[in-house]
Amino acid sequence: MLTRLANPARFMRTSGVVLPWVGAAATGVLLCGLIWSLLFAPPDYQQGESVRIMFIHVPAAWMGLSVYLFIAIASAVALVSRHPLAEIAAQAAAPIGAAFTLVCLATGSLWGRPMWGAWWVWDARLTSVLVLFFLYLGYIALVNAFDDWSRGARAGSLLALVGVVNLPIIKFSVDWWNTLHQPASVLRLGGPSIDKSLLLPLLVMAVGFALLFVWLLLLRMRTALNERKVRALSLYGQSASRDEETTALLPAARLAGR
């Protein structure tokens, strides 16, 4: 299946059909999740109404990690098997993952102020997520730092693979070090410790964020492919024009030679 979709023309046809459905699903699920979490979910017995920040903060954090893992896998595929769309997918996903991570940091700061009494602390979890944000920015900058597109893509892929080491640090930082950040309460061995009245809308929001990522990814990949097509046609047109000019000059050159 992945091999078939590796063909850019087939990908454009398939994604063109899927894109509006994914966009509609993302919009519907996010609206449902926002209404449920902001209007109907009960306040927390300790955190009160401020717990509602969780419904944005936690899915954004999950997506920040997941998108970077996606970039690393796509980069590995691009380096090993030269998958035609792997590099495009990785580069298209990077700004989306950076946006999710920025939302995670911003909402975490808003949540930390009433809970910890500070907008920011150099907590292990917060610091490692900040490093993740810088990895996203570094990847984007490195990919665009070369005139040769292939060299930039290769350098970005290597950085993405090196940066994977930060993902387990983010995940297990609350277990490895004494931090202010609370330990895992959803993805844990003993099962979720959050009450269902808060867990269910949280999961709906997580699904909505995932669908939003897929929709934006497909949209950005299609845009990148169209840009390359336009660039290739432009270069072909310039080359054809030069060939026509050369052909037109040949008779004059022959006459001059006589």
Domain ranges of the chain: 21-229
Is the per-residue pLDDT at 120 higher than 60? yes
Position of tokens 């299946």? 1
> Highest mean pLDDT range out of 68-72, 106-110, 176-180, 189-193?
68-72
On whether the CB atoms of residues 26 and 20 are closer than 8 A, the answer is no
Position of tokens 């098997």? 81
Cβ neighbours around 77 below 10 Å, total: 19
Percent of the chain with pLDDT over 90: 46
Q: End-to-end distance of the chain based on CA atoms, in angstroms?
A: 63
H-type helices in the chain, by residue range? 2-5, 8-35, 54-81, 86-116, 124-143, 149-163, 166-176, 196-257
Residue bearing the bigger pLDDT, 255 or 65? 65
On whether the CB atoms of residues 79 and 154 are closer than 8 A, the answer is yes
State which CATH number among 1.20.120, 1.10.3470, 1.10.287, 2.20.25 fits the domain covering 21-229.
1.20.120
